[in-house]
Structure 1
Amino acid sequence: MDFLKVLSRGTSLSKGAGKAAQSQKTQKTPSSGASSNPQLFGHDTTEANDSQAPKASGRKRKRAQAPPATTIDLPPELDFFRDPSHAKNDKKEELDDQTAVEEGKDNAARIEEAKDEAQPMDEEECKRILRSHKVKVTVLEDYNKAKQEQMEAERKSKKRKKSKESVEAPAKKKAKEQLYPEPLTSFKQLRSRHGISRRLAENIEAQGYSMPTEVQLASLPLLLQGTAPESNGIDLLTVAPTGSGKTLAFLIPLVHSLLQQKHERKNDAKSDGIQAVVLAPTKELASQIVNEGRKMSLKTGIKVSLMRKGMEVVKEDGEGEEAPENDAHGSESDSGSDGEDTTKPAQRRKRGQLVKSDIIVSTPLALLHAIQRSKGSVAPLKTVKHLVLDEADVLLDPLFRQQTLDIWNAMTNPLLRVSLWSATMGSSIEELAISTINSRWSTLASESIRPNLIRLIVGLKDSAVPNIHHQLTYAATEQGKLLAVRQLLHPTAPRSLDSTNTPSLRPPFLIFTQTIPRAQALHSELQYDIPPEAGGSSRIAVLHSSLSSKQRDDVMTRFRRGEVWVLITTDLLARGVDFRGINGVVNYDAPTSGAAYVHRVGRTGRAGRTGGVAVTLYTEEDIPYIKNIANVIRRAEQVRGIVDEKDSCVKQWLLDALPTPTKRDKKELKRRGVEARRAGVEGERTKGRWRTQISTRSGFEKRVDRNRREAVEASRKRKSEGRPSKAEESGSEFGGFDE
């Protein structure tokens, strides 16, 4: 107990101090601490239950009525008028109270365990919980049912031919079947209901996970039931908001399945090789998955490794056999009559050390280089039984598609189970996944039963997280955007919460740009905006793919430690990377698509935290494309419950005024970005180039510097060619200053 609070119980705070304390209490930021409830939806049901509780009467107390007497127990150190003969009795009572509290905790734990081991929920209860959390589970492809229907149709067609019946009209497309799996309400149920190992359950508890998020309460029962020996398994396609715990949702079933396989082959000392492959689009996301995987597999014997350059995952045929010296370097007896060597040794690349891990996490290109062989062939990955595509819409995008499909098709094990995870996933990605699974099974000569493909969607598909505040600001020009960012760094006045409860942006936050040169230019402009008393230039850093791996790791480490407050980056950090203490995101350059906006702003508001701010700046060049972003913001506000247009960030008149981009414009924007902005940085055209450059200097000053620079270059060129200068040509005695 705080003695100062007890002694100052009768004092009252001043009005100014009370207002300050109230403002500090209301201005909650995501970096203020862990969220008590990591779930995004389903709070309405709990609030409704709480509202049914009896409330105290709001009537004023009569003057004659005395206030209720309250007794305050002071600690023995402050109770100066206490009888010393009761000290021993008080100590006894204190010990009895402690034992009673401990016994109560033990009883509560037993009650919770008994609840976990209770009878399973009925279908109506499962439907209620899943619908309250906005979870929808659908069967995309039921292959066993489709095979039976095909056989039934063939049988009917034969009968129809024999009886010469009239051909019936084609049947209508059937609605997809919905599933209602029993949701996971607590992580303790993983051991009592699904039988995960004790060590894995202890690792989950050690990380502080108690309440599952929406994607975890629905996907974990599906995947854990699929890993049972009597089950055929499933292929899962999951769409869930950013920061909802998708990494943990696929790591727990992976580790559980590998522990089961390890227990089955305990008598066999020989390892089966790599059992699972996790693909991620960036090195930062891959290293983050490895860190989480090592936490889950601690002291279980399951090894998780990050794929690096020079590592080998498949043993090449004949590896370890050394070629004879004559064969390697050639000999005189193998030479032809003209003295030329007809036997040319095969050029083999230097082999690296073979990786002995159960789970490999990699980017597509790094893993593809490791399994590629001579003449462009790819070595088969026969032992892999689990393939996880994190950020699947990017991995199956044209940028990574061929690399991902080459790795996917190299896995020839008929027991392979695939899961795709992302916050945004279009119908084209679903069709590509179904066609890839079908084509792969058609090439496999196996009689194994094919697993069903199930889709899991949390919330609205392709929507931003509803627990952050969105701002769409028109800055007109590049100078306006630079001024807006400086105002975010240096507010002109202390900003308090207004009537609309609009939070303010506070460090640490991320700033996203379109290209690497623009990130570098913005870093050079803002590098000295933070005063030396607050840390100076060390508080602002830039991160992009042109940096080395060591430099990128160093920047990420400093940012996670809190040494860097403002991190300027490209879309390299837009996907999957978890920053729990990020207070906001600034889109200095507007995203190129609605999906890019969803992933960028998803760096804040992780795990149900509230108070995050997403600021998007757009200029005159962005107006033809900004309507997609405005629609995503409007949809997120509707999910949040903002109905009044007064409180909305995107007004209806703005949506009506913005032009609608065509499909061709969207495709070109996604591929190239805003062309004027790229031209302004790369110098593809000179007209209007200063409008899209990140600089505080005016166009006149840039023109004067360019003329001076061109004059100096022309003077040097004339001097190198031996031509006279302009002063000598005019006959003047003054020859100019020597350079």
Structure 2
Amino acid sequence: MCTPLQSRQLSRGTSIFNNNNIGWIYTTLLLQRREQSERDQTFIFNLISIKRSIFFSSLSLCCLTKFVSFHPSKLEMDIFRILSRGASLNKKKGITTDYALPSEKQTQKQKHKQESLLNEVERETDFFHTRKHNSNSTTTSGKGDKLTNGANSNKEEQMETNETKAKEEEIPPPELTTEEDAQTFRNLHKSKVTGDDIPIPIGSFQDMIGRFHINKKVLSNLIDNEFVEPTPIQCESIPITLNNRDLIACAPTGSGKTLAFLIPLVQQILSKNVSKNHGIRGLIISPTNELAVQIFQELEIITRGCKQINVAILSKQLASKLNNNIIKSSKYDIIVSTPLRLIDVVKQGNMDLSKIEQLIIDEADKLFDHGFAEQTDEILTHCTNPKIRKSIFSATIPSSVEEMAHSIMKDPLRIIIGHKEAASNTIDQKLVFTGNEQGKLLAIRQMIQQGEFKPPIIIFLQSITRAKALFHELLYDRLNVDVIHAERTPKQREEVIKRFKNGDIWVLITTDVLARGVDFKGVNLVINYDVPQSAQAYVHRIGRTGRGGKAGKAVTFFTKEDDKAIKPILNVMKQSGCNDGYSQWMEDMGKLSKKEKKQIKTHEIQRKKISTVPKVIKQKRKQRQDMIAASKRRKQESKQESKQESHSNDEREE
């Protein structure tokens, strides 16, 4: 029974219990409601030992009464009935509970049954889902332990397990089965596939279970990382590659091209039971180290848990180990690399490319361009496997690149998603005339004032010198800004990219070194501070935003010197459906001749230095610098004269 003081506290609605007491009382009441036959004293003492399972730090008895769905009078009677039974304190050292533990004479069967009930109650009382509960209803306590929930629970669990396995092993029917289905799919996604014996595209990742017996671990990795639905380029390219066909694929930036070639590559290697240290069977070439790192990260995701496949990126450290014969290249199944580093290792005889079955060239328009064409050709000469299959991927594939691709491929299939040289339709494109170089900086500061400057933002410039100059200029605007260019070390570039992805940097200034492939999720705005030299470069630059179907914005500044360079960009905007992003007078601009196009691509426009400082201030700064330099020079001359005088005086004294 309660003392008079406790009765007064109850009548006022104040709590007479500490956190532990309320927790075990509430737990006990729930159990009494479920198991009326289990209210013996030993069982209650066992419940009391559940300590700190629920923290109702300032819960009053009135709140407890409202929370539980019992009648108030019955609740009070149940509480008093339990309290009247009492509890003995255990004052032995080393005991952490407030109450005496259950008797050791309890049978093993009772313990298991009570633990099962307690787990069930604890699961019900975990309102905020902050605790982990045992999913298994069986416990083991040594050799020879048996299942604890009896024959009925065992049968139920076995039935659930069998149902789960049956669902997993069930092969779903393909979503696309006929040529009519395939044509409807292609019309919907504006995709064109040309060539002989074109396979039917997949409609979902589950289609690969029945058609290609995809590795279950690869499929679960895709689902775990929220790759639920394949993109159009993935739907088309995966069955083509798994049917051992050469491929030329062109799709907009951010459309999932990386997974489009990684999934079939991994599946083909896993499907063949080849002994370890067989040699490199898959090779992926990319033009930049940043893109190679990103491809490797995606490759690690889909091969996670696949012990029978080894993948690697040919980093500086790995190349050094191979060249020093610390490790052998034959231990790897797939290698991701840039051209020059790969050629260096191959020339030293530390990597064998003769067993490669799949060669993938990412950003093919760049790797077949003048700067990389010789390197790409040298790699191809070392890939001597007669059964090799080649695939090239890019957001833009000019006709010249297609011609070169046909010369090294056998009856390739060609995929075009959307227009051949169009940007993603999720990007809002805009051309802004700034008059001169000073107008570009003023335009950026005007965007900041008007709220159009919404981070994260990437700004592209045509040279390293200009990127550095803009970086120092924007520092005065108190923006979280950093710069990436070819003069920075790979480690510095990786650190900047990491900080940009984490949100520590709001504005990233860069050259075309980051224009291709690198996936920055959530970039809101891309600014072309300098007009790119080709339509392909423009598409790749603005492709850093609007990725994965998300909306993005791209702004291109141009001056009087860019009157011819903006014509290819204008054509891309028209093909992408951005007819409101430019003035109508630009429609009347004449077509460029071949000579003019070549000149734009090969010759950079000479631009003035990036600065908003007036000429008068610049002259004053220069005068000040000249005065300081002259003062330092005079001091140096006076020091030399004094030394000479002291030296001559010493000679006279001698």
Distance 1:293 1:520, change over 3 A: same
| Residue segments in structure 1 that go unaligned for 5+ positions in a row | 1-75, 88-94, 96-102, 140-176, 227-232, 316-348, 438-450, 496-503, 531-536, 639-644, 678-691, 723-739
Query: Which residue of 2 is the match for residue 136 of structure 1?
Result: 192
Shift of 1:364: 0.5
| 1:431 aligned onto 2:431 | no
| 1:575 aligned onto 2:516 | yes
Shift of 1:120: 5.6
CA distance in 1, matches of 2:446, 2:193: 45
Distance 1:668 1:77, change over 3 A: farther
1:454-475 Cα offsets, whole Å, 9 max, x none, are 1111011110111121111011
1:424-464 Cα offsets, whole Å, 9 max, x none, are 00111011112234xxxxxxxxxxxxx53111110111101
CA distance in 1, matches of 2:69, 2:390: 73
Query: Which residue of 2 is the match for residue 461 of structure 1?
Result: 420
Find 1:284's aligned residue among 285, 290, 297: 290
1:299-353 Cα offsets, whole Å, 9 max, x none, are 11322211123645998xxxxxxxxxxxxxxxxxxxxxxxxxxxxxxxxx86564
CA distance in 2, matches of 1:109, 1:600: 47
Query: Which residue of 1 is the match for residue 345 of structure 2?
Result: 370
| 1:308 aligned onto 2:341 | no
Find 1:549's aligned residue among 466, 485, 490: 490
Shift of 1:289: 0.4
- Structure 1 counterpart of 2:428, which letter? H
Distance 1:313 1:255, change over 3 A: farther
Query: Which residue of 1 is the match for residue 584 of structure 2?
Result: 652
- Structure 2 counterpart of 1:460, which letter? H
- Structure 1 counterpart of 2:279, which letter? G
Query: Which residue of 2 is the match for residue 357 of structure 1?
Result: 332
Shift of 1:108: 13
Query: Which residue of 1 is the match for residue 472 of structure 2?
Result: 524
Find 1:627's aligned residue among 567, 572, 575: 567
Query: Which residue of 1 is the match for residue 597 of structure 2?
Result: 666
CA distance in 1, matches of 2:333, 2:312: 8
CA distance in 2, matches of 1:601, 1:514: 14
Find 2:383's aligned residue among 411, 425, 428: 411
Query: Superposed, which structure 2 residues align to 1:55-134 within 5 Å?
Result: 116-117=172-173, 121-134=177-190
Query: Which residue of 2 is the match for residue 251 of structure 1?
Result: 262
Query: Which residue of 2 is the match for residue 700 of structure 1?
Result: 616
CA distance in 1, matches of 2:318, 2:385: 22
Query: Which residue of 2 is the match for residue 211 of structure 1?
Result: 229
Shift of 1:487: 2.3
CA distance in 2, matches of 1:372, 1:606: 38
CA distance in 2, matches of 1:314, 1:564: 35
Find 2:356's aligned residue among 384, 395, 406: 384
| 2:344 aligned counterpart, secondary structure | helix
Shift of 1:671: 2.6
| 1:596 aligned counterpart, secondary structure | helix
Shift of 1:664: 2.5
CA distance in 2, matches of 1:559, 1:241: 23
CA distance in 2, matches of 1:285, 1:556: 12
TM-score (norm 1): 0.61
| 1:615 aligned counterpart, secondary structure | strand
Shift of 1:360: 0.8
Distance 1:474 1:717, change over 3 A: same
Give the CA RMSD over aligned residues.
Answer: 3.6
Distance 1:312 1:556, change over 3 A: closer
Distance 1:86 1:275, change over 3 A: farther
Shift of 1:719: 9.2
Highest relative contact order (Cα 8 Å, sep 6+), 1 or 2? 1
| 2:473 aligned counterpart, secondary structure | helix
CA distance in 1, matches of 2:514, 2:269: 30
Q: What count of residue pairs does the alignment treat as equivalent?
A: 494
| 1:616 aligned onto 2:591 | no
Q: Is the 8 A contact 1:310 1:351 kept in 2?
A: no
Distance 1:431 1:77, change over 3 A: farther
1:707-733 Cα offsets, whole Å, 9 max, x none, are 5655776787899899xxxxxxxxxxx
Structure index of larger Rg: 2
Distance 1:719 1:540, change over 3 A: closer
Shift of 1:556: 0.8
CA distance in 1, matches of 2:74, 2:380: 76
| Residue segments in structure 2 that go unaligned for 5+ positions in a row | 1-63, 76-123, 125-158, 639-654
Q: Is the 8 A contact 2:174 2:203 kept in 1?
A: no
CA distance in 2, matches of 1:77, 1:215: 60
Shift of 1:369: 0.9
Find 2:238's aligned residue among 220, 224, 245: 220
1:146-196 Cα offsets, whole Å, 9 max, x none, are xxxxxxxxxxxxxxxxxxxxxxxxxxxxxxx5x653222221222233211
Shift of 1:667: 2.1
Greater share of helix residues, 1 or 2?
Answer: 2
CA distance in 2, matches of 1:285, 1:118: 34
Find 1:295's aligned residue among 301, 320, 331: 301
Q: Is the 8 A contact 1:311 1:352 kept in 2?
A: no
Q: Is the 8 A contact 1:634 1:650 kept in 2?
A: no
CA distance in 2, matches of 1:401, 1:310: 26
Shift of 1:652: 3.2
- Structure 2 counterpart of 1:600, which letter? R
Q: Is the 8 A contact 2:359 2:390 kept in 1?
A: yes
- Structure 1 counterpart of 2:208, which letter? L
Query: Which residue of 1 is the match for residue 12 of structure 2?
Result: none
Shift of 1:672: 3.3
| 1:393 aligned onto 2:365 | yes
CA distance in 2, matches of 1:110, 1:609: 37
CA distance in 2, matches of 1:697, 1:248: 48
Query: Which residue of 2 is the match for residue 592 of structure 1?
Result: 533
CA distance in 2, matches of 1:620, 1:242: 30
Q: Is the 8 A contact 2:255 2:547 kept in 1?
A: yes
TM-score (norm 2): 0.69
- Structure 2 counterpart of 1:369, which letter? D
Give me the identity figure in percent. 40
1:640-694 Cα offsets, whole Å, 9 max, x none, are xxxxx6xx112432221x45433223223223321x12xxxxxxxxxxxxxx111
- Structure 1 counterpart of 2:354, which letter? K
